Structure 1
């Protein structure tokens, strides 16, 4: 094992092996009709998500429209979320960009604003070498006392974080977790086996496969609207009850289908549409993202209507 210790309590939900909780929602950013951030809705949504089973929240990520929110807005979102959820959940803020100096600055500011951890994405567009990735992540981790979750997402960043780089990053005492949206279970299982990094699935449809090789949870989009299902699935897998976890996984297939209705890169559009259908209007996305069409919204509603209630799934498991 490396010197990293992912049992560090990153916030109120932290516990052995799960530094940021287990069921974490990558939270959308609510906007008012005039396009401004709606901080009252930020607080209301954060509370709703925690009430529905999430023990962690990621704010200011891609799903939170971080490319289009200002630094000042990001800090306001952190403060509003932390104040809303108190000690009931960890609050992790996206602080990464393709500019190391700016990422360092945002990590420091997020810590001052009360975040419990920082999510640092692989620098995108500039396509750095692995040595550059190593230096970038180390610089951000050195900049504050925040525990860090690396975000490995080559579909957006192009460059993956290679296994050897992850092993070296795991030696940093504040780099404690990985959000994986690479989907390479073989590479991830090597890192899980040889380091103390806590792995989180960054793709909702493959949470159970990830947990079967040692991941501890998920950073989810669909948990905006099916938090109890996702939480029950993750809890079952962590308890070694993969029969129940797999049953819930299959029940969630219509929700996974719904998330794809607005395009592979627009999970936030699905989430905002589905939340509005449940009575939580969080506004429309900022450009370049656009709202769901009427047809897409109808398809999402039809997909979500197919979901088997959690109580029925639990009855099946005990029947």
Structure 2
């Protein structure tokens, strides 16, 4: 058995953006995160996604982040640029910039907060997709955006050649099988569901826990791909405390990813931009315990 073709790689992480103490983007440290991921099991990274705190970064900063990450990973991994916002013109501007800077793919999340209907989603997606020739991964995460992409909307979107994949955080495996039937490559967008998605035909994962568990995530994917499903389950079971620690905390995401990177020594701080706040000492202690239980630190 082998997994389906993966247009952007099999193991990707939506990587954090490093910030200096004064709140500016720390480009050197951001490049260091990318290099760390590629060294540890990744064949793709996503910049300026949710974990990259994209709602707080400017167009100029997003371009700088993409540039330094491309330089850091070279040809060792694909670099997918997050271009999704809740303003179509803003997303079009980001897509054009990402194409100019050589992004290997675009991550296009459903517009958040303003909750457009399906006709609005199609208008938004079409506008961004047609802004460049770069392949697009749609991102369906209704828990954050308030809107789910309907199957009928996917059926129309797949007619555009650039739309090749979806990062799914809806959590409906049967729906994901139907998306595969439309010709889309499906990526797990939720670490707790990674193994389940592989069993339902996903081609890979877009992780957050991969910041600290890249090698183990790669081993799990490779084991499943080779037909060693018991081995994949064993690895996933070992990762559960880490997944709970990184993704199960009230204050999770970029906050836990950066604290994990600090525990590994990749970063020397865990700075985030408001409205997020860094993990406090008790939260870091809980995170450390979860990572230790999974034998990651």
**Range of TM-score over shorter length:** over 0.9
Match of 2:164 in 1: 176
Out of 164, 169, 189, the position equivalent to 2:152 is: 164
Match of 1:300 in 2: 287
The CA deviation at 1:238 is 2.5
Match of 2:232 in 1: 245
CA distance in 1, matches of 2:227, 2:160: 30
The CA deviation at 1:241 is 2.3
Runs of 4+ in 1 over 6 A off after TM superposition: none
CA distance in 1, matches of 2:212, 2:295: 13
Match of 1:203 in 2: 190
1:146 aligns with 2:137: no
1:276 aligns with 2:259: no
Out of 96, 113, 118, the position equivalent to 1:130 is: 118
Match of 2:253 in 1: 267
CA distance in 1, matches of 2:291, 2:61: 32
Work out the number of aligned pairs and report it. Answer: 294
Question: Which runs of structure 2 are paired with 1:98-113 in the superposition (5 Å)?
Answer: 98-113=86-101
Aligned 8 A contact 1:178 1:199 in 2: yes
Residue-by-residue CA offset, 1:96-134 (whole Å, 9 max, x unaligned):
111112111110011112211110000111111112111
1:103 is paired with a residue whose SS is helix
CA distance in 2, matches of 1:254, 1:190: 31
Question: Which runs of structure 2 are paired with 1:4-23 in the superposition (5 Å)?
Answer: 17-23=5-11
Which consecutive residues of structure 1, in runs of 5 or more, have no partner in the other structure?
1-14, 310-319
CA distance in 2, matches of 1:268, 1:126: 23
Match of 2:13 in 1: 25
Match of 2:102 in 1: 114
TM-score by length of 2: 0.95
Aligned 8 A contact 1:216 1:238 in 2: no
2:50 is paired with a residue whose SS is coil
Match of 2:176 in 1: 188
The CA deviation at 1:260 is 3.6
CA distance in 2, matches of 1:27, 1:267: 10
CA distance in 1, matches of 2:249, 2:237: 21
CA distance in 2, matches of 1:242, 1:196: 25
Aligned 8 A contact 2:32 2:266 in 1: no
CA distance in 2, matches of 1:152, 1:88: 27
Out of 218, 226, 233, the position equivalent to 2:205 is: 218
Out of 7, 32, 40, the position equivalent to 2:28 is: 40
Aligned 8 A contact 1:261 1:300 in 2: no
Residue range with higher mean Cα deviation, 254-263 or 219-228: 254-263
The CA deviation at 1:303 is 1.2
1:296 is paired with a residue whose SS is helix
Match of 2:78 in 1: 90
TM-score by length of 1: 0.89
Aligned 8 A contact 2:55 2:85 in 1: no
Residue-by-residue CA offset, 1:34-83 (whole Å, 9 max, x unaligned):
11111111111111110101000000001001011111000000000001
The CA deviation at 1:283 is 3.7
Query: CA RMSD of the aligned region, Å?
Result: 1.6
